[in-house]
Amino acid sequence: MTKYVFVTGGVCSGLGKGITASSIALLLKAKGYKIFMQKFDPYMNVDPGTMSPIQHGEVFVTADGCETDLDLGHYERFIDEELNYTSNITNGKIYSSVIEKERRGDYLGATIQIVPHISNEIKNKIYEAGTTSKADIVITEIGGTVGDIESAVMMESLRQFKMEQGDNNTLFVHTTLIPYLYGSNELKTKPTQNSIIDLRRLGIQPDIIVTRSNINIGDHIKDKISLFGSIPKENIIEAVDVTNIYQIPINFHKQNIEDIILNKFNLENNKSNLKYWEDLINTVNNLKKEVEISLVGKYVELHDAYLSVMEALKHAGYKYKYKVKINWVDSESLEKEGTDLKKIFKNSKGILVPGGFGYRGIEGKIKACKYARENNIPYLGICLGMQIAVIEFARNVCGIEDASSTEFCDNCNNPIIDLMADQKTIVNMGGTLRLGNYECTISNNTLASKLYNKEKILERHRHRYEFNNKFKQLLEEKGMIFSGINEPSNLAEIIELPSHPFFIASQFHPEFKSRPTRPHPLFDGFIKASIEKK
């Protein structure tokens, strides 16, 4: 029988609920249990696919092509399990499904209400995660902060869920903030107390409190939370700020969080297998050397927009015992007349152009790519970064001066990047990109085959435009290699330049499959080449 852990947050957002949920998941997996994870987001968008990265950070994509909240990236990196469409539920998804059923007549004349119709739909999504994954334990994180109007019905559904499943099969973890007041030099528990009261008002008594703080909170603070919140003292778990998020599971483990959970669930408490993670932390905490990589994007003011790319770079760095320092370069700033690229890229050993949408900043990215190609600086292009690489090559090596993408100019003369016929009739923006896993076949004797050491790979996609095969022969004649192809649709997946020390780009997003203990082959090769660059 599946057990259910719910992770909520109080006081304010941004406390690291996602990392808390992921850490608990990792620890329970290390005890030998099959874990599945799920995130509920209380906004009305059906998915974050149409949201600006500036507002919401990166859109993470699952293997089955679901566009999801970035927390799912943390989940996958921590538990190393592939999640799917049951893993990210929004109010928009819940409401549209209920309204669709109502229109179809499924409710047989009933008046449709928040309770029970919306709350049932939410509970069904939790059950669905349990039954389809066949996990021993499902961990569901609720986005936002307790007390928000948006998440009220989600919280109500959790209360009902516990009634249905019973106390021994459900467990609530509540994350809160313990602020430190400078001047009076003390830690304050009142916001936590109030947030527990908010939770109780909704009919939920937390089993575990995770306290985020700048410094260790100490016994008397725990006593207070325990007394006012009716939480056993040992169930108060400290989450003191860390410089490296991968440290958190170990910090929780030292406070026996798994024992509390398994005890409540009456599940066997096996010995933890955490050696591999401890080794990782040991590596991360002892990185002495540093390599600088320039990341050229248009959302650089919000680093969360490139979260998985940042993590993938770090993972590859761990393998070579290097800290990866990112030089954030705003692509638009490169477009200004007289910009000194040499100065901007002075300390960078590699240049990465990540994914992106729309025309803004494109010319700056093309400049950066040209600089990397001409100066033998390792280049990794991801999705838009591959489209940029072929446009740059077409313009500056093949002499097609107006080469572009129909995403940037509607009636361009030389659409090196263009829509496929079946994409041209699409009217809806949401959920209509090429999404999720597609196969790619790698040609022998290429950089890609050396890096992957495999002929067939599966990688995750999120894009609308494709390389236009009409130009393939010309580009090949000038020295570009199309080393990865999706054979069923004859689509370019990987390009490279054999005349360059390391120049490779993919139409897919390798960053989603990188794991802290298993860097992705493209990032691995890119960081290795960057480290070796003189």
Q: Residue 414 belongs to what H/E stretch?
A: strand 414-419
For residues 406 and 441, which CB has a smaller minimum distance to ligand GLN in the complex?
A: 406
Rule CB under 6 A: choose which of 246, 465, 482, 503 binds ligand GLN. Answer: 465
For residues 212 and 367, which CB has a smaller minimum distance to ligand GLN in the complex?
A: 367
Distance CA 252, CA 156 (A): 28
**Minimum gap (Å) between residue 463 Cβ and ligand GLN:** 3
**CA-to-CA separations, 7 to 4, 38, 241, 254, 410, in angstroms, rounded:** 10, 10, 19, 20, 46
| Structure letter (DSSP) for residue 185 | T
Tokens of 317: 């760095």
Residue with tokens 């040609």: 443
**Minimum gap (Å) between residue 429 Cβ and ligand GLN:** 11
For residues 464 and 533, which CB has a smaller minimum distance to ligand GLN in the complex?
A: 464
Site for ligand GLN in 382-411 (CB under 6 A): 383-384, 407
Distance CA 484, CA 495 (A): 7
- Catalytic residue status for 509: yes
Distance CA 236, CA 263 (A): 15
Query: Is residue 365 near ligand GLN by the rule CB under 6 A?
Result: no
Region of 110-118, 128-136, 204-212, 355-363 interacting with ligand GLN (CB under 6 A): 355-363
**How many CB atoms neighbour CB 266 within 10 A?**
9
Q: Taking CA 354 as the corner, what is the angle to CA 453 and CA 60, rounded to the nearest 5 degrees?
A: 85
Query: Is residue 462 near ligand GLN by the rule CB under 6 A?
Result: yes
Give the distance, in angstroms, between the CA of residue 321 and the centroid of all CA atoms in the same chain.
23
Residue nearest to ligand GLN (CB): 355
Distance CA 187, CA 181 (A): 6
Rule CB under 6 A: choose which of 10, 130, 297, 355 binds ligand GLN. Answer: 355
The residue annotated as part of the active site, out of 369, 383, 398, 440, is 383
Instruction: List the one residue out of 398, 399, 416 whose CA is nearest residue 407.
Output: 416
Q: Could you tell me if 184 and 221 are in contact, meaning their C-beta atoms sit under 8 angstroms apart?
A: no
- Catalytic residue status for 56: no
Distance CA 54, CA 303 (A): 9
The residue annotated as part of the active site, out of 58, 500, 511, 520, is 511
Rule CB under 6 A: choose which of 57, 130, 143, 356 binds ligand GLN. Answer: 356
Which positions from 16 to 55 touch ligand GLN by CB under 6 A, shown as an x/- string?
Answer: ----------------------------------------
For residues 319 and 464, which CB has a smaller minimum distance to ligand GLN in the complex?
A: 464
**Minimum gap (Å) between residue 426 Cβ and ligand GLN:** 12
Rule CB under 6 A: choose which of 200, 464, 478, 533 binds ligand GLN. Answer: 464
Rule CB under 6 A: choose which of 125, 370, 463, 513 binds ligand GLN. Answer: 463
List of residues contacting ligand GLN (CB under 6 A)? 355-357, 383-384, 407, 462-465
Give me the active site residues, please. Answer: 383, 509, 511
